[in-house]
Amino acid sequence: MDVLYLVEKIDDISGFFICGKNTLYMQKNIKSEKSIKYKTGLVDLVLNAKVISFSADSKFSSDIYNYIEYVGDNVSSEYNVFLKLCYLYSKNCDEIGFYDFFDSLLKIFQKESSSARNQVGLFGELEFIKRYHGSFKEVIDAWHNETMSFYDFTFEEFNLEVKTTTKEFPIFRVKHNQIFDGKNTYICFINLKKDNSGNTILDIIDDLNKEDCVRENFKFQLKLESELSKLEKSERNLEKYSCKNIHIVRNSSIDSITGVPSRVSQISYDLDITGLRTIEFSDIFVDGK
């Protein structure tokens, strides 16, 4: 029989426990999820487990619980991510089920190389959020808000894709089918430069997290950790950048290649945005509807 020791009670149904050397996040099985045991070597899942309290005055009563066991190093950055996301989940458990939350954690800790990305692209997306979320709260929820979305930001009335470069000239790599898709799509072109007095991705995140509405937004923090986990190994030593220019353009104002055969897909090319009509992001909420 495993013995659990309560470390921190979060609320009446959830808390952190220690079992041997491992930390567990445990929550009452309030949604009557079926029994599952799933071991990954990173985070392990048990659903519908009977937990018995040995003390009548225990802060946790005997009941049926679900728990996620963190089996990694408890001084690693991943451990801090585990604690943060579990705590936020306890405050927002009505948004996704316990198994789905576990699956999201697993994907973060697995760091699948098939979805690797570079830090310049992520920097650009976070710079966009930092710049505009104060005036437009929709930006936070629009960021990667659909699993199969082709766009960085999916709003109710339009889509927005961020393209970021460190090149000196205003030339950006674009995907033809993504930009010229027949939908109401905007492209935000961001030009960065390496700057020792600039910011890293983590600096931007720290600035964003100074606001309660960002720091306590469970879905945003889950997406944020997911995107950070996708950084290629060669990209983990974060560079400092400053933003030189931001240009927002509607896809209909860009000259497109015509006559692309229907069987041709995945066309990418460099686009020179010199002279294109740019608009303010605030105008999109009028222009985009």
Q: Which pLDDT value is given to residue 182?
A: 77
Residue that is last in its domain, among 76, 110, 144: 110
Cα within 13 Å of Cα(249), Cβ side: 21
Whether residues 103 and 165 fall in one domain: no
Domain boundary among 50, 81, 110: 110
pLDDT surpassing 90 at residue 30:
no
Q: Which of 122, 121, 68 is nearest to 93 (CA)?
A: 68
Determine the average pLDDT of the residues in 152-169: 91
Rounded to an integer, the average pLDDT of 85-102 is 95
Pairwise CA distance, residues 258 & 128, whole Å: 31
Cβ atoms of 45 and 52 closer than 8 Å:
no
pLDDT of 49 > 60? The answer is yes
- Write phi, then psi, for 134 (nearest 5 degrees): -65, -35
Mean pLDDT value of segment 127-145: 92
Do 266 and 155 belong together in one domain? Answer: yes
- Tally of structural domains, the chain: 2
Express each pLDDT in 205-234 by its tens digit: 999 999 999 999 999 999 999 999 888 766
Q: What is the pLDDT of residue 287?
A: 58
* pLDDT tens-digit readout, 249-267: 999 899 888 777 778 878 8
**pLDDT at residue 82 above 80?**
yes
Q: Are residues 103 and 209 in the same domain?
A: no
> Which range of residues forms the domain containing residue 31?
5-110
Mean per-residue pLDDT of the chain: 88
Please write the tens of the pLDDT for every residue from 184-213.
899 999 999 999 999 999 999 999 999 999
| The pLDDT of residue 55 is above 70 | no
Give Dmax (Cα) for the chain: 76
Q: What is the mean pLDDT of residues 111-132?
A: 84
Query: Other CB atoms closer than 10 Å to residue 28's CB: what's the count?
Result: 16
* 87 and 224, same domain (yes or no): no
102 token code pair = 């576990």
Statement to judge: residues 89 and 210 lie in one domain:
no
Residues near 26 by Cβ (< 8 Å), separated by ≥ 6?
A: 4, 14, 15, 16, 17, 51, 65, 66, 67
For residue 186, the SS3 value is strand
pLDDT of residue 259: 78
CA distances (Å), origin 271, targets 124, 179, 248, 276: 17, 11, 14, 11
Indicate if 270 and 140 belong to the same structural domain: yes
Last residue of a domain, one of 110, 141, 161: 110
Is 19 or 53 the better-scoring residue by pLDDT? 19
Q: How far is the CA of 32 from the CAs of 64, 67, 94, 263, in angstroms?
A: 9, 13, 14, 48
Compare 7 and 237 and report the one with higher pLDDT: 7
Q: What is the pLDDT of residue 255?
A: 86
Whether residues 68 and 205 fall in one domain: no
Decide the pairing of beta strands 36-38 and 241-250.
unpaired
Over residues 108-113, the mean pLDDT reads 73
Residue 183 and residue 179: Cα distance in Å, rounded? 9
Cα gap 209→26, rounded to integer Å: 26
Residues above pLDDT 70, as percent of the chain? 93
Is pLDDT of 288 > 60?
Answer: no
Are residues 215 and 283 both part of a single domain? yes
- Give residue 126's pLDDT band: very low, low, confident or very high (50, 70, 90): very high
Burial of 13 (0-12, 13-18, 19+ CB in 10 A): middle
pLDDT score at 27: 96
**Where do we find the tokens 């728990």?**
67
Cα–Cα distance, 22 to 20 (Å, whole number): 6
Q: Verify that 207 and 89 share a domain, yes or no.
A: no
| Same domain (yes/no): 166, 261 | yes
Contact 95, 219 (CB under 8 A): yes
Identify the pLDDT of residue 115: 59
Cβ atoms of residues 105 and 87 within 8 Å: no
**Chain centre distance of CA 281:** 22
Vertex 254, ends 285 and 158: CA angle to 5°?
Answer: 25
Helices 201-208 and 119-132: crossing angle in degrees, nearest 10, is: 30
Same domain, 123 and 98: no
Q: Are residues 158 and 53 in the same domain?
A: no
DSSP letter string, 29-50: -TT-PPPEEE--SSEEEEEEEE
This prediction's pTM: 0.87
In this predicted structure, what is the pLDDT of residue 136? 87
